[in-house]
Amino acid sequence: MLKGKIQELAKEYSKELIDIRHHLHANPELSYQEFKTSAFVQEHLRQLGIPYEIKATTGVVGLIEGRNPGNRVIALRADMDALPIREENDIPYKSKVDGVMHACGHDVHTTCLLGAARILSELKDEWEGSVKLIFQPGEEKNPGGASLLIKEGVLENPKPAAIIGLHVHPQLAVGKFSFRGGKIMASADEIYITIKSRGGHAAAPQQTADTILIASQLVVALQQVISRNRNPFSPSVLSITSFQGGYTTNVIPSEVKLMGTFRAMDEQWRFEAHRLIRKLASELVQGMGAEIELHIDVGYPTVYNNEALYSIARSAAEGYAGLDKIEESELRMGAEDFGYYSQQIPGCFFRLGTGNEAAGITSGVHTPTFNIDENAIEPGAGMMAWLGATVDMKQV
């Protein structure tokens, strides 16, 4: 029986997969700089006899063909890049690169997909269709490696009927998975604002436009974009996260810079909000006598899980791991460039439980103490292999 064989192989290879994860964790690389990681992945695929090609410089795209390879094509995706964070964990496989760390679990994602690749390759005579393996660069930084891979044809030749990705979840107990249909993660856009005047003496504010005051008013006023214009049933957030201006007590600075992020779950509202942000900011700043430069760097789109694919994948996951191991994913205002894929073809992005409260493994992603319970790697690799071998959009 295929399920049993996948589970046996995931267990058999689990120690080797943990060693792979240790290597990746100790040797992290930043977005679009994943050269050694890419070479490591390529070498593993070569050893497995899996053909692959390079896209977007460091991306690796492999293809495993089962029985009747053209009958069904499913893509499995893992990201490979790390974050500019100095690791604080005291572990044997701690990052060897100062100021760079796999703090978002991409080492785990890559490990799980390599494990799934090995399992699927070994069992390729026992499942139908083809599985495209996407090892993706640059998830953590605009424009997003997914967008670059799509431009280079990753969703063609052969064209997948669906794409599946997983993400570590430290707030979910090890051994569990969570799924959700429809909207699951927010879009993410970056806001950059510069407010300018000629500056002046702090004792004579009437002789200039007070950039500090104007910027302060703007930070507060921008919240009206959300509170008075957004549909209350559509999650959205605007956060100004940087306020830079001034250098002494008696000078009104000639320039203040603001930076922030805007998140939304609805693509139509997202771009309407951009228009409102520009309008409100320009009118307020100019009305108070200053000049403004405003740039919105459009980032990742909303991650949307195709409802039909979600139902198929969740049912398959329940059959693989058991009903008690599957939960409902919560909505998150974090962003993921997996959204680019799910705009093109049906996508399902699910979460892998990696937390262990009893063992003190609870730190969130993007923190210097993030780590996982490595018992998660066996079910993670097995689940990816199982979904790759069994999910079929023809069931819809």
Model pLDDT for residues 276-312, shown as the tens digit of each residue: 999 999 999 999 999 999 999 999 999 999 999 999 9
137 and 17, same structural domain? Answer: yes
Residue with tokens 């959205």: 236
The CATH number assigned to the domain holding 264 equals: 3.30.70.360
Q: Do 380 and 105 form a contact (C-beta atoms < 8 A)?
A: no
For 330-366, write each residue's pLDDT tens digit.
999 999 999 999 999 999 999 999 999 999 999 999 9
Tokens of 69: 């390879």
Average pLDDT over residues 185-202: 97
The CATH number assigned to the domain holding 319 equals: 3.40.630.10
- Percentage of the residues of the chain whose pLDDT score is greater than 90: 99
Closest by CA position to 296, among listed 218, 338, 238, 343:
238
Among this protein's residues, is 152 annotated catalytic? no
In the set 13, 32, 93, 300, the catalytic residue is 300
For 359-382, write each residue's pLDDT tens digit.
999 999 999 999 999 999 999 999
**pLDDT of 396 strictly over 70:** no
Q: Do 260 and 238 form a contact (C-beta atoms < 8 A)?
A: yes
Question: In one letter, which amino acid is 154?
Answer: V
Q: What is the pLDDT of residue 395?
A: 77
366 and 246, same structural domain? Answer: no
**pLDDT of 254 strictly over 80:** yes
**pLDDT of 44 strictly over 80:** yes
Cross-strand bridge partners of residue 183? 304
99 and 145, same structural domain? Answer: yes
Q: How is the beta sheet containing 255-264 ordered, strand by strand?
A: 236-245, 255-264, 187-196, 291-297
175 and 105, same structural domain? Answer: yes
What letter does residue 323 receive in the DSSP assignment? G
Among left, alpha and beta (phi > 0; psi -120 to 50; other), residue 153 is: left
229 and 308, same structural domain? Answer: no
335 and 346, same structural domain? Answer: yes
Among left, alpha and beta (phi > 0; psi -120 to 50; other), residue 326 is: beta
Which residue, of 275, 297, 319, is where some domain finishes? 297
Q: Do 83 and 1 form a contact (C-beta atoms < 8 A)?
A: no
Q: What is the residue range of 92's domain?
A: 2-184+302-395
Q: Give the Cα separation of 342 and 139 in Å (integer).
A: 15
For 123-159, write each residue's pLDDT tens digit.
999 999 999 999 999 999 999 999 999 999 999 999 9
324 and 268, same structural domain? Answer: no
227 and 363, same structural domain? Answer: no
Residue with tokens 């459009």: 298
293 and 155, same structural domain? Answer: no
239 and 127, same structural domain? Answer: no
Total domains in the chain come to 2
Among this protein's residues, is 93 annotated catalytic? no
Q: Give the Cα separation of 331 and 184 in Å (integer).
A: 5
Which residue, of 297, 328, 355, is where some domain finishes? 297
Q: Give the Cα separation of 152 and 166 in Å (integer).
A: 23
Task: Give the E-state strand segments of 82-216 in sequence order.
Answer: 130-136, 162-173, 177-179, 182-185, 187-196, 200-201
The three-state secondary structure class of 79 is: strand
193 and 146, same structural domain? Answer: no
Phi, psi at 99, each rounded to 5°: 85, 5
Mean pLDDT for all residues in the chain? 97
Q: What is the pLDDT of residue 378?
A: 98
**pLDDT of 316 strictly over 70:** yes
Average pLDDT over residues 1-22: 98
106 and 150, same structural domain? Answer: yes
In the set 29, 336, 374, 378, the catalytic residue is 374
